[in-house]
Every structure is written in structure tokens, then in C-alpha cells.
Structure 1
């Protein structure tokens, strides 16, 4: 039986006096695979920032649950937009993935954590690239590395923000195959403006354009989705 893992109630968020989200409510289940679509500037990224704790709403609440009980926080993996990554930063593939794990200040990573990194590298088929500088990677390779970083801590929820950016069709197919496997042990929220690709892969759809419209059936008519998508 599925349990709620994130409960968003009546969220309103503003930038200065401009409303980004207005009275948005949404429940995410612990086995969910939720696609969030909407136009640029419609509030998709704002909603993700609020879930991640990177931004506080002007009103409303976000409540987390684990096994049906309220908890202060949950383990969330995050794959940011490709454009947020500085490819000139001097760091290897291995170290990028390692940075997805938390450790106490001035303490070394544990043997268990290092084993987690190595297993994730194997699972994501990155063995041959693990010592490469991130600046030498193709778009698809970098996206695979960032996905590995997002899942190395075994998150309860995985959030992906526009993961199709700058990757080719072949890797998109591989990525969605990986996400189907990942969804067997954690919830997934994927943000995209690509309606067709989202509808082919997710379980449920939420259309965000300041307000939010949730659709339990992803097979709804494209015309109805586009109405929400274009509504201002």
C-alpha cells in the first residue's frame, strides 16, 4: 500500500510582488513517479526549491512522512538543470559522485560510503570514466554522472529538473530505463516542459502554471493538458 511521503498544502510563493505559485496543493506518494510540466516561468522550479528547502513559501506548508508518520525531513536526491553545472571546476567523476554523500565535518568518509560510491559507479556503467575530469565528458555522460550523484545516498525521493537538456535521444531512452529501475525503491519527481516524453514514462501528471492541476491518469487528452499548460 502506498503512503504519502510529501504533503504540500496551500503554497503561495512570490518574488518581490510577483506571484510564482498561488494556493498550490499536492501529495507525493512513496512509490510515485510524478511528472511536473508547465511553461517557462510557470513556477515549476519554484515548487522544487520549496520542496528541497532552498526557498520558503509566503504561505502554506510542506510536510514530510516516513512509513506514514510525520518526520522533520527525508533523504532527497536532486539532479539540477544541466546549465547549473560549472564544467570548468577541477573535479573528477568519482569526486562528483562522492559529493552526493553526507559526512561529519573533518571526518573521513566511511568504508561503507566508499563502497556505496563504487557500487553506484558500477550500476551507472561509469567505471571507465570515474577518473576523468567532468569537463571532458559529453552531455549524456555528464548527465549520467549527475544522476549517479543524486542516487548514491539511496534517497527516498529523487527530483530531476529538466533532465533532457543537452542530451541526445539515445541517452534519453537509457535515462528513462534507469529511472524505471530507480522507481522500484524510491519516489521520483521529474520536471520538464516536454509533455510527450513525460507522458510516455511517468505514472501521474501535475500541470504547474502559477496554480496546479493534478491528473491521476496520465493518458488524458493532450488538448486538456495543453489548456493547463498555456493558462496564465
Structure 2
């Protein structure tokens, strides 16, 4: 099956790269592009496009207006959103409006290809008799991509990182390393690597208190950034 694709971006060079990249991925046909929100809406309405790659910031306009238009008009169209690094707002809003993937500038052809191939895999969910493991794997990979780096440090895995963050789901107070180790069933040595990683990436804050014996006790809680991610259902 061939999927039709278009792009909305105000940089001609980026549009050209989208077209060249699309031609290199099997199963897709390029349908054209637009450089403003208005022309993008017209393209969506007049051309048979299955999904669109759209930049979040378009001059004085933004991709949120496009996503609202697609939802209000009940258009059967999926969106990949182009964002800037550390742009949590666009990721959060995009998730709410059903964006299927995010590409952070500058992105490589390999990442572009991965997004298109993942979309093809997602469409296979429409077939009957899917295994639960297939569905879990697909949604698990997409759900956490918004805030975990693609290239994790050595010794850090996505699955364990998510398990650590889940420990903060129902907690509004500080948690010690011992408490987190008990909840996650991760050894203290391994856990410290993840706590250091999340502290450095701004998702956790650390506080050191001193017990009556004089020994320091480290405890952690979600930062405002971590809380925002939690409230929007990412963890």
C-alpha cells in the first residue's frame, strides 16, 4: 500500500529535503507542499494526503492551529511535527492532538525514515488478530520518545529509566534512594546512575539532608518539568 505525504514548512530547503527523503522510503508518494498555514489547509482539503509533516512554528502562526483545524474539520489525517530542541510545549500540545511522531531539528535521514516506517507499522494495527505484545511495543516506543533522548548514555536503558520515573507517579513528597530501590527492585548501584541522569536532564531535583547520626541522606522528587510531563500522561 502506498501512503501519500505532504509537508508544511516555510523553508524551501527543508521542503526539498522532505521530498528527497520521502523518495528514498518505500511505500510513500510525495503529494506536494505548502509554506503557510492557509495554503497548508488548502492542500489538505484539495489533495488526497494520508499524513503531513508540519513545522510547529510558521512565521507568526504555529502548528497548534493546524492541529485544531484538522480536529475541528474531522479530517482523516495524521501529523508528524517538526520541533526545536527542548520545546516541551509543542510536544505536550502535539500529544494532546494526536501527533504520531516528532522530529527535532536538525534530524537525519535515518530518523526521518524511522518515523515513516513506524507509521507503516502503526497502520498494521488496523488488521485483526494483533498480538498484545505487538501493540505494547508500538505504543511503548512512541509514548516516551518525547522526553527521553534517543541516544541514552552508556548503562542507561529506556525500559529501566521509565520504571524509575513510574515510581514518582503517585508520590508528592521526596523519595530516598532506599525507597526508590524498594519500589523499582533496582539495586542501589544501578539506581544511582539513573537518578544522576534524571537530575542532569532536569526531570528530578536532589536534596541532601543529614540524619541524627550525621550521615547524609539523598532524596529526590520531580522538578516542575517532570511534573508537567507526569500531568500530561507521559509517565
TM interval, short-chain normalised: 0.3 to 0.5
For the pair shown, the structure with the greater C-alpha radius of gyration is 2
Q: Which has the higher helix share?
A: 2
**What is the TM-score with the length of structure 2 in the denominator?**
0.34
Higher relative contact order (CA 8 A, sep 6+): 1
Name the TM-score, length of structure 1 as normaliser.
0.34
